[in-house]
C-alpha cells in the first residue's frame, strides 16, 4: 500500500542522489542544481498548501552538500509570472471544474487557468487504498472539502492565489524565487565559482531591462495589428 514519504526518508533520498551525482564527477567537478526556494510564491505560498511538489528542495540540497563535506555556492534568481486580468465573477466560476470547458485555448481565461495549474505544482499521486493513480491537480482538489466558504479545496486554492497576486504596470503577477546552486567536489573551487556567479549577477539587471523592452515592443506591435 502506498504511503506518503516522511521527511527523513526524503532527506535520505536527496543525500543518496547527491552522493551518486558527486561520485560521477571528477575531482574538480561542479554539479549545478536549479530549483525554486521556499520563498517563492509558487512553492512557498501556494504549492506548499495545495500542491504535491517539495517546497524546500534548495534547503535539502544545501544540507546534503554540507553532510557530505562539499562546498556549495548559491545565486538567488527572481522572475515574475504574469496573469491576465480576469473579472471577479469569472474567477468565482473557475472554482467549479465544469465551467473550465467554456473557455477555448486562445482566451485570457484559458491562459489564467494554465498558469494557475503551473503555479499550483499539484501532481498526480497513488491512491492510499488501491494504489490506483489519481488524476492530481485541480481534479483532486475539487473532490476535497473546503476549509472555508467554498465548495471544495479548489476554490480555496484559487482564493489563495488571488490573495498573493501583486500588480505592476503590466498587470497581476506572482514572484518566482529560485536558486542556482553549485555543489563543489573540491572546496578550492569556491572562490572561482563565487566570482563567476557574481559576474552573472551583475548582468541580470541589464538582461531584465532588455526583456522588458522586448515585451513592450511585442505588445505595441500586437496592439497595432489589431
User: How many domains are there within the chain?
Assistant: 2
pLDDT along the chain (226 residues), means of 10: 72 89 86 91 88 84 91 93 95 94 91 93 65 70 92 95 94 95 90 93 90 83 67
Which domain does 208 fall in, by range?
A: 7-80+177-212
Task: Return the pLDDT at 179.
Answer: 94
DSSP conformational letter for 67: H
- Backbone φ and ψ of 171, nearest 5°: 130, -165
Q: Are residues 66 and 124 in the same domain?
A: no
Assigned domain for 48 exists: yes
Question: Whole-model pTM above 0.85?
Answer: no
Q: How far is CA 170 from CA 83, 118, 142, 215, in A?
A: 9, 20, 31, 10
Cell of 182: 553549485
DSSP-assigned letters across all residues of 107-150: SHHHHHHHHHHHHH-----B-TTT-PBP--HHHHHHHSPPSSSS
Task: Return the pLDDT at 150.
Answer: 94
Assigned domain for 221 exists: no
Assigned domain for 157 exists: yes
Assigned domain for 222 exists: no
Task: Return the pLDDT at 131.
Answer: 58
Q: Are residues 154 and 187 in the same domain?
A: no
Query: Mutual orientation of helices 108-120 and 153-164 as an angle, nearest 10°?
Result: 100
Assigned domain for 29 exists: yes
Task: Return the pLDDT at 169.
Answer: 87
73, 189 contact by CB (below 8 A): no
Q: Are residues 109 and 157 in the same domain?
A: yes
Task: Return the pLDDT at 1.
Answer: 47
114, 106 contact by CB (below 8 A): no
Q: Are residues 99 and 50 in the same domain?
A: no
Amino acid at each position: 500500500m502506498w504511503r506518503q514519504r516522511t521527511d527523513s526518508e526524503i532527506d535520505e533520498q536527496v543525500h543518496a542522489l547527491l552522493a551518486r551525482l558527486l561520485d560521477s564527477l571528477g575531482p574538480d567537478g561542479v554539479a549545478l542544481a536549479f530549483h525554486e526556494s521556499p520563498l517563492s510564491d509558487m512553492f512557498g505560498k501556494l504549492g506548499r498548501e495545495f500542491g504535491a511538489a517539495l517546497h524546500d528542495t534548495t534547503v535539502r540540497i544545501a544540507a546534503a552538500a554540507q553532510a557530505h563535506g562539499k562546498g556549495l555556492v548559491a545565486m538567488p534568481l527572481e522572475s515574475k509570472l504574469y496573469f491576465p486580468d480576469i473579472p471577479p465573477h469569472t474567477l468565482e466560476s473557475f472554482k467549479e471544474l465544469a465551467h473550465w470547458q467554456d473557455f477555448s485555448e486562445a482566451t485570457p481565461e484559458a491562459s489564467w487557468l494554465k498558469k494557475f495549474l503551473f503555479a499550483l505544482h499539484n501532481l498526480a499521486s497513488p491512491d492510499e487504498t488501491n494504489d490506483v493513480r489519481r488524476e492530481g491537480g485541480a481534479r483532486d482538489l475539487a473532490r476535497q472539502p473546503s476549509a472555508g466558504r467554498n465548495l471544495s479545496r479548489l476554490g480555496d486554492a484559487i482564493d489563495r492565489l488571488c490573495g498573493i497576486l501583486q500588480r505592476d504596470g503590466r498587470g497581476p503577477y506572482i514572484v518566482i524565487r529560485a536558486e542556482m546552486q553549485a555543489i563543489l567536489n573540491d572546496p578550492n573551487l569556491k572562490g572561482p565559482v563565487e566570482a563567476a556567479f557574481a559576474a552573472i549577477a551583475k548582468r541580470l539587471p541589464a538582461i531584465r531591462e532588455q526583456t522588458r523592452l522586448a515585451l513592450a515592443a511585442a505588445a505595441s506591435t500586437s496592439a497595432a495589428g489589431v
